[in-house]
Structure 1
Amino acid sequence: MSRKIYYIQAMQEGLRAAMAEDDSVVVIGEDVDRSIIGATRGLVGEFGEDRVRNTPISEATFVGACVGAAAVGLRPVVDLMVGSFFYVAMDQVANQAAKLRYMSGGQVDLPIVYFTATGPSGSGAAQHSENPHPMLMNVAGLKIVMPSTPYDAKGLMLSAVREPNPVVYFQDFVLGGTKGEVPEEPYAIPLGVADVKRAGTDVTVVAIGATVPKALKVAAALEKEGVSAEVVDPRTLAPLDTDTILESVGKTGRLVVCDSARLTCSAASEIVATVTENAYGVLKSAPQRVAWEDVPVPFSPVLEKRVLVDEDRIRAAVMKTLA
């Protein structure tokens, strides 16, 4: 049975299902007992303080400790609270968690989930508005998910916890309060499988995270003007479902990629490069990227709005491919 719940509730349901399924799953992080953002709220009362543990405000310490915990048999789910905090623990994530299974020749499994609320949330300013997914996509050994709907949030959380490799799970801040249909029973969405959120024939719009609902609004408006836009949500950025993206572009011949990250070395850049290399012959126009300007995210609401991806910029990019 499905009902409409908030994205944050869906994450929590996925995590609760994983904890009920496997006693080795533990939740560790800052304020996970009270959960300011909400994804771990209520879990301490259900599973106890041994499995839901608060940490000091020292990301490098507890991110690194969970590498050891995973290596000896636990399945830690680590709440980093804010995406920008990955920078504080990059050695532990990129040099330890991401590499240990490879460097041990597969002798050590590292079933860790690092999850965080990420991206601009309305004047969060430069140090609390980062979306570091493009940087982490470049770290071999990590799997990266970025759900855009409550349904995907629940199913991808359960799959992420079951995964034997480190997974970074990004919850876009502005999506946390959105609602959607979510089944009550546990279910898993495989990592590395994209979802076509809207079918179309004229242009493929690949949208990531919070840009997905914006792309869907643009597609609905364009339909009234006779333009059929297909919206593809990768859901998982590493591994990336290039087959679904290439199949869509093969049908439409046009590509726009929307990414809540800086334009340079963005996920959008990687997707455009992949399509250009593998489907150059079917492209009817140059692919377009819609991403942030290459500046820190401003505190000023006016300046922040200018930097970020919005519906007008997505529409303009679509129309450019059709010109």
Structure 2
Amino acid sequence: MTEPVTPAPVFRPARHAAHQPRWDFSDGYPPVPYPEVAERIGEVLTGFGRTWPLAEHPVEGGREETVAALHAPEYLAFLRGIGETLEEGEEYVPSIFHGDLSAGPLRFRGGMFTAEIGTPITRATRQAALDSAETARRAAAHLLEHGGHVVALCRPPGHHAGYRRYGGYCFYNNAYVAARTVTAAGRRCPVLDVDYHLGDGSVEFAGEAAPYFSLHADPWRNYPHLDAGWDGAGRTHVHLATLAEGTDGEAYLAQLDDALTALTATRPDAVVLSLGFDTAATDTIQDAAVGLTAADFEAIGVRLAATGLPVLVLLEGGYDVAGLAGYAEAFARGLGPAPDQRRTTV
């Protein structure tokens, strides 16, 4: 008789679709339709469901306490305050940028917490982002209690969110909410970021118990467009690998193997995977081509499975909505059969 397969635990914010900005002004006028759309979650969920039976856990009621240990009080207060000033359908982007606008009107202050106009804030944004962070926290708590792999379909994403900074469609750093939930239990939990973009926010939170490993397109030529004084590559517990323009699956997987060798050398108990599907060849958000296919996403899953570590799969980017289900299905197939609860707890 075949042993029943335990469904994969999938946590997702129940009300994320209320956060639905219309425009991304990153490239100036005219703006482009905002690519970080609610449909992304359903497509990734569909893809995972083609490989695994799923046990869905909708999450709502996220509170500021979940992110207070990560983000600056003045930044949290800004997000709290600006949302309350917005009318239904209104989108806020800063009109002025400076390091200290704290003495100015509330509507000026956004420009000291971001350096771009591609991440509008709506009336629903803060609560959606808090629910997304709570999704990460609950997924990590599940992993601690039951072991095995866990999925957190976070939206909005989070890896660009720093201590006092938002941008790149991110507001709170979901990956480090999850990692610190695990490390607070005395475990070691690195973050492996395979999104197309460098998680410049995640770099700020790396530490001995939760180091940061990233494979990404050149962050000077692509978002987040770092300035010459950026020192992230020199930080302790930060391991960065830049992808050459034109990187294909073979070259990508070779660099991933190097990253995983360094990651497993830290003797982790679990890993948070900041999973972006925007390295796919079909994703138009890229400024420098990286050409991963569904087979490559499957190979990424295979390599994660080979570590023997419990993996918290946490969604970051990926904007080819039509292709997301296929890429997610391939990744899940590579990671293995439905993550079950037969593993020892972390």
Task: Considering fraction of residues, name the structure with more strand.
Answer: 1
Q: TM-score, normalised by structure 2?
A: 0.31
Q: TM-score, normalised by structure 1?
A: 0.33
Task: Considering fraction of residues, name the structure with more helix.
Answer: 1
